[in-house]
Structure 1
Amino acid sequence: MNKLIFKCLRLSPVVLAATFSTAGTAFAEEIKSEVTSVSELSAQQQLQADNSMGQVTSVSQFSDVQPTDWAFQALQSLVERYGCIAGYPNGTYRGNRALTRYEFAAGLNACLDRVNELIATATADLVTKQDLATLQRLQEEFSAELATLRGRVDALEARTAELEANQFSTTTKLKGEAIFNLTNAFGDEAVGGADLDSNTTFANRVRLSLESSFTGSDNLQVRLQARNIEQNSNQTGTDMTRLGFAGDNGNDVEIDKINYAFNLGPARIKVDANGAEIWENINTFNPNFKSSGSGAISRYGRFSPIYRLGDGGAGVTASFEASDNLTLSAAYLSPNGSSPEDPNGAFNGSNAVFGQIDFKPSDSFNIGFTYARAYQNDSDNDITTNNINLTGSTGSDLAQNPFGGAATTSNNYGIQAAFKPSSKITVGGWAGLADATAVSGINDGADADLFYWGAHVGIKDVGSKGSLFGVIFGQPPKVTDNDIAANEDPDTSYHLETLYKFQLNDKIAVTPGLLVIFNPEHNDNNDTVYVGTLRTTFKF
C-alpha cells in the first residue's frame, strides 16, 4: 500500500490534494462526532468554515511550503491544473501532519467530486488517463472506507433533517428550572412573643424561559412561572427569615418577565416590559450567591438591598464598557408603570433611578459604587396595604416603611466588592445607607436614616466539581435615626447563613442550608429564629 500511495503522489497531484486537503480532514472529523442538536451541527459547520483557508492561487501563499520540499511540484500542479487545495487560516499547509485512512478517504472523495466537476464543465483534458487510472486503483483500495464515509454522511444528513423538523424553534431556546424545597422554621418564640409553630413544608417553583434572537446579538425573553412556596414571615413574625426563592401564586402559570436586550453602538440596552429586576441587568458583585435557584437560601443573602428598589414592573437599563476594567450602568424602573390610574404610570407613580460604576482593576478584584433615587407611594390609595417598601422585604418592618405608609423619597448609596484570592475562593460584601424623607401625610417632611451591611465567603468545588460551600453574615437594614422617635429600631439584628450546594451533575444540585437570625426585628427581646432548608434545583 505504501508503494501505491507514493506512486499516487508522483503521478497524481489530484490525490495529494485529496490526501492533505484541510477541508477533507475537517469533514472527516465532523462526521465522526456524535450529533446531538441542531445548534451543535451549526457550531461544527462554523468551525469547519473557520478552520479552512479556502482555495489558493499560488503555493507561495503557504508559509510552511518551500520549493525544496519533495512534494512542492505536486502541490504547484494541484493549484494550476485542478484548483483542489486548501490550507489553514494562519497561512500554513501542514503537509507533515499524520492522517488516518478515513481522512484520506474523505480527501479522495472530495477530489473525485472535483474531477467529475471538471469533466462536466468540458475541461476533461485537464484530467489525464494516468490520473484516472491512479484514482481508480485508489478507489478500489479504499472502497470500504469510502462506503463507510458515504454511509455516515447519509446518516448525518438524516439526523440533521430530523432535528430540524422536530426542534422547538429555529430562533427560540427553551430553558427551564424547577425547585423542590423542604423547609422548617424553629425556635422558642416568634417575633412578638407568640409560640413559634414549627411545621415542615414541601413546596416548589417552576420557571420556563423562552429566549429568542433575531440578529444574533439581541435577546427577547418571555418567562413563565408557577410556584407555591409561601413566605415564612407569618410563622416567624419577620421578613428577615424570608427565603430567596419564596413566592406563592397557587401554582398558577403566569408570565412574570418580558424583556428585550440589544446593542446600541457601544452600549447594551435592556428594555423590561414586565418583571423588571435591576439585579438581572447589572453586576451585583455576588456571583456565587446571586441566583435564587442556586445561590443563597435567604433573600437578604443574595445581594445588597439597593438592587431591589423599583423591581416588578417596567424599566430600561443601559450598560457601557468604557474600558476593559470600567463599566458604567444607568437604569430607570417603574414598578406600576402599566397602570393608568392615579398615582401610578410610568413617570407619575413609584420609580427608581439607578447609576453604577463598576471598576475591575484586576481579574481578582471588583468594586462597585451605586446610587439610587427612589420614590414610593401608596399605589392603591389604601394605607392598610402597606405598599411602601424601601428595602425590598429585607430588614425590619420599620426599615421597609419608616413613616407609617406615607409616600417616601430616598437617596440610596451602596458600595459592593468581591475579591478572589484564588480561582476557587471568593470573599466579598456590601454596605449601604439610605436617607429617606416622608412627602405626604401627617409625617410630611420627616427624615430617617437606614444602614445595612453584609459579608460573604464562597469556596467552589468542595467535595465535587461545581459544588459550593458558603457563609454569609451581616446586619439587615435597620432604622438608625428617625424624626419619628417611635419608629427607630432599638437594637441590632444579625444574619448568619451557611449552605452547601452539592452539584450532583450539570443539571441537578442539592443545597442544604441553615439561616439564623439573632435579635429579630432589631430587638434583643425577641428570641433567635432558625430556618433549615433543603433545596433541590433541576435545570434543563
Structure 2
Amino acid sequence: MVNKLGKSAIAASTIALCTSVFSSSAFATDSLELSTIEPSDSALEQVTSVSQLTDVRPTDWAFQALQSLVERYGCIAGYPDRTYRGNRALTRFEFAAGLNACLDRVNELIAASTADLVKKEDLTTLQKLQEQFAVELATLRGRVDALEARTTTLERQQFSTTTKLGVELVTYLADAFGRNASDANNTNFGYRLRFDFDTSFSGEDRLRVRLQSTNLRRLDTATNFPVGLAGGTDESRFLATSVSQNGEITLNRLQYRFPVGQQLTVYLDANTIDPSIVTDPITPFNDQVIGAPSNFGQINPVYFPIGNRAGLAANFRVSPAISFDFGYYGEDSTIGGPNLTDSRSGIFNGGYSAWGQLVYGSGALKFGLLYVNSYSVVNGVDTLAGSNAAKVIGAGPVIGNSYGFQFNYRISPRFELGGWLGYTAARALGDGTKGDASVWNYAINLAFPDLGKTGNLGGIIFGMQPRLTGTSNDTLAQSIGLPAGQRSDRDIGYHIEAFYRYQFTDNVSITPGIIWLTAPNHDNRNPDVVIGVIRTTFVF
C-alpha cells in the first residue's frame, strides 16, 4: 500500500516523467509570468498510443519516456493535428501544469487499486519534481481556485446587459417617365435613416428602440381616370413608410422579444409594426433596403391591410419544418387608434388586425398560408399598394378578411422561383353604404442569388397590384369614388420590375432598378409609367 507521501509523490511524479520527454531547453527559461500558463495554440487532445502522434519517431531521444507516459499513465495530450511538437520550448509554468495533470492521473490509478502500474523509480522522480516545482504548483492551484470562483459567479449571473447600435441608411435617386408622368415628376433624391438600439438582458431576449428620419415621397403616377379616384397612386411607392415626414427624428419601433421555453417566442410592440416583422413572408425580396426596390415587389400586400401601431405577436415552432405565427395589433390611425379617446377609437371601438400564418419549410421548398382579420374606422383595407379604389375608403368602417398564399422554391443555388396570391373580402358598414367588395393581387418572382458575385442578387417580378374586382351595389361603388355604373376597376394593369443588387462590401450595396406600370390605377386610359431608380444602402 502506498503511503500518503507516496501518493503525493506519485502525483508529482507522473509529470516528472514528462521532464525527460520535453527538450532540455524547456528548463533554460526563468520566466515566471502567469500569462505563460495559457498556451496560445489550439486546445490539446488526449492520446492513448504514442503512434497517434505523427511527429514522434522511435529514433527520438525521449521516445521511450514519452511512450511510458502515454501508454502507462495516460497523461500526455497532443495537438488537434495529431502532433506533439516536442522540440518546442516551454516555461516552468507550462511544465508545472503538465506535472499537475500527471499527478492527478497517478492518484486516479492509486484510487482504482492499480498502484502496481506505478514504478518505484517513477515515484522517486516525481517526488523530486514536486519539491522542485512546489512554488509553481502552488501558484497554479491558486489560479485554478480563482478560475473556479469566477466560473461559479459567471454561471450564476449568466449574462450582463448589453446594448448594441445598428445604423441603416438607404437613399433613392429616382424619376418617373410617361406621357403624363414625365411632366408631373422631376429627378429626386430621398433617404431613410434608422438607428437601432438593441438591448439584451438574458442573452436570448431583445429590446429594440428604433429612431427614424426620412424625407421620402412617392412618385406621381399622374392618373386621370377614374375621375373620382384620379391623381397619384401607391403603385409607385418604394417603402411601406411615411411619405409625409421632412427629416424629423421620430420613434419608429419599440419592441421587446423574448423566448418562452424552446418553441415559443413572444413579441411585445408599442409602436408601428406589421406581421412581416414577426413571421416569414416567404420571399427573397422582402428586405426593404436590400430586396426589391418597390414596396409591391417586396411582399404580398395582404400582410398589412391597415397600418398597425402596437400589440402582441408570437412564433410557435410546431416542428423543425412547421411554425404557426400569430398576433393582434391596434390600428395606426389618427381616427380609430387604440391610444385615442373619442367614441370611434380606443381598445374596444378602434381599428385592429388579428392574424395567423402557418409556415412550412423543408429543403428547397417553403410556403405559407396567411389569414388576417381587420377592422378600420376610416382607412378601409389600405395596403399601401394598388389602385385607389382597392383601398375601399369612403364607405365608413370596413371589416376585412384577407387570405394569402406565398411560396418559394430553390431550383438551384443560383435560381429561385416564388410568388404569391392575395385576396381580401371587404365589408363596408357605413350608413347607407353597406356592402361587400373583393380585392385581388398576385405576383411571380424570379430570383438569382449571387449573380456575378457572392452576395449579389438579381430579381424579376411580374404581377398585378391590388385591384378591386367587384362590389355588391352601386352605392358602395360610388362611395369609394367609382363613377356611376362602374363597380370595379375598369381594366387590369401590370407591375413589371427588374433589379440588380451589387454588393460592394458587407456594409455597402447599390441597386439599379426599373419598374414598368401598365394601365396605372387599373385603367387603360391612363398612360403607362416607367420608373427608374438607383438605391444605395449602407448598413453598419
Q: Which bracket does the TM-score occupy, shorter chain normalised?
A: 0.7 to 0.9
Note the 1:303-382 alignment, pairs <5 A: 303-335=299-331, 336-360=337-361, 362-378=362-378
Change (3 A) 1:77 1:344: farther
**CA offsets 1:173-208 (integer angstroms, 9 cap, x no match):** 111111122111111114xxxx73330111221111
Change (3 A) 1:243 1:132: same
Match of 2:258 in 1: 262
Moved more, 267-276 or 484-493: 484-493
1: CA distance between counterparts of 2:20 and 2:409? 58
What amino acid maps onto 1:439 in structure 2? L
Note the 1:22-421 alignment, pairs <5 A: 27-29=39-41, 71-75=66-70, 97-98=82-83, 104-105=88-89, 109-112=93-96, 128-129=127-128, 171-190=162-181, 196-233=183-220, 237-244=232-239, 247-248=242-243, 249-265=245-261, 266-286=263-283, 288-335=284-331, 336-360=337-361, 362-378=362-378, 387-388=379-380, 390-401=381-392, 404-421=394-411
**CA offsets 1:494-539 (integer angstroms, 9 cap, x no match):** 0011100000011100000111100001100000011111111011
2: CA distance between counterparts of 1:86 and 1:254? 62
1: CA distance between counterparts of 2:89 and 2:177? 70
- Contact in 1 for aligned 2:161/2:200 (Cα 8 Å): no
Moved more, 341-350 or 296-305: 341-350
Note the 1:471-510 alignment, pairs <5 A: 471-485=460-474, 486=477, 487=482, 488-510=488-510
2: CA distance between counterparts of 1:325 and 1:470? 26
2: CA distance between counterparts of 1:477 and 1:200? 27
- Unaligned runs of 5+ residues in structure 2 are 1-12, 27-34, 108-122, 135-159, 224-231, 332-336, 483-487
**CA offsets 1:242-294 (integer angstroms, 9 cap, x no match):** 112663421111110011111112211111111112101101011x2101111
Matched, 1:12 2:17: yes
Partner of 2:347, secondary structure, is coil
**CA offsets 1:413-470 (integer angstroms, 9 cap, x no match):** 11110000112211100001111111122202x0111111011111011122101110
**CA offsets 1:214-254 (integer angstroms, 9 cap, x no match):** 11111111111111111224767221111126634211111
What amino acid maps onto 1:279 in structure 2? S
1: CA distance between counterparts of 2:125 and 2:342? 81
- Contact in 2 for aligned 1:181/1:533 (Cα 8 Å): yes
Change (3 A) 1:305 1:456: same
Partner of 2:292, secondary structure, is coil
Moved more, 451-460 or 301-310: 301-310
Partner of 2:406, secondary structure, is strand
**CA offsets 1:132-187 (integer angstroms, 9 cap, x no match):** 9899xxxxxxxxxxxxxxxxxxxxxxxxxxxxxxxxx9511111111122111111
% same residue: 27
- Displacement, 1:338? 2.8
Change (3 A) 1:113 1:535: same
What amino acid maps onto 1:506 in structure 2? D
- Contact in 1 for aligned 2:390/2:468 (Cα 8 Å): yes
Partner of 1:346, secondary structure, is helix
2: CA distance between counterparts of 1:438 and 1:512? 41
What amino acid maps onto 1:372 in structure 2? V
1: CA distance between counterparts of 2:220 and 2:81? 71
- Displacement, 1:368? 1.0
TM-score by length of 1: 0.72
What amino acid maps onto 2:195 in structure 1? L
- Report the count of equivalent residues: 440
Partner of 1:496, secondary structure, is strand
What amino acid maps onto 1:463 in structure 2? G
What amino acid maps onto 2:214 in structure 1? R
Partner of 1:465, secondary structure, is coil
1: CA distance between counterparts of 2:199 and 2:90? 37
- Contact in 2 for aligned 1:334/1:347 (Cα 8 Å): no
Change (3 A) 1:133 1:126: closer
- Contact in 2 for aligned 1:262/1:270 (Cα 8 Å): yes
Partner of 1:12, secondary structure, is helix
- Contact in 2 for aligned 1:438/1:447 (Cα 8 Å): yes
2:420 aligned to which of 430, 443, 449: 430
What amino acid maps onto 2:522 in structure 1? H
Structure number with bigger Rg: 2
- Contact in 2 for aligned 1:278/1:311 (Cα 8 Å): no
- Displacement, 1:346? 3.2
Partner of 2:411, secondary structure, is coil
2: CA distance between counterparts of 1:316 and 1:258? 12
- Displacement, 1:111? 3.0
**CA offsets 1:83-123 (integer angstroms, 9 cap, x no match):** xx686xxxxx6688225689x4568643346779999xxx9
Change (3 A) 1:491 1:113: same
2: CA distance between counterparts of 1:62 and 1:261? 53
Matched, 1:449 2:417: no
2: CA distance between counterparts of 1:11 and 1:179? 65
- Contact in 2 for aligned 1:367/1:416 (Cα 8 Å): yes
2: CA distance between counterparts of 1:344 and 1:52? 66
1: CA distance between counterparts of 2:446 and 2:510? 19
2: CA distance between counterparts of 1:12 and 1:131? 11
Change (3 A) 1:114 1:305: same
1: CA distance between counterparts of 2:16 and 2:401? 83
1: CA distance between counterparts of 2:132 and 2:519? 92
- Displacement, 1:10? 10
Note the 1:462-473 alignment, pairs <5 A: 462-473=451-462
Change (3 A) 1:182 1:235: farther
Partner of 1:293, secondary structure, is coil
2: CA distance between counterparts of 1:260 and 1:243? 27
- Contact in 2 for aligned 1:333/1:352 (Cα 8 Å): yes
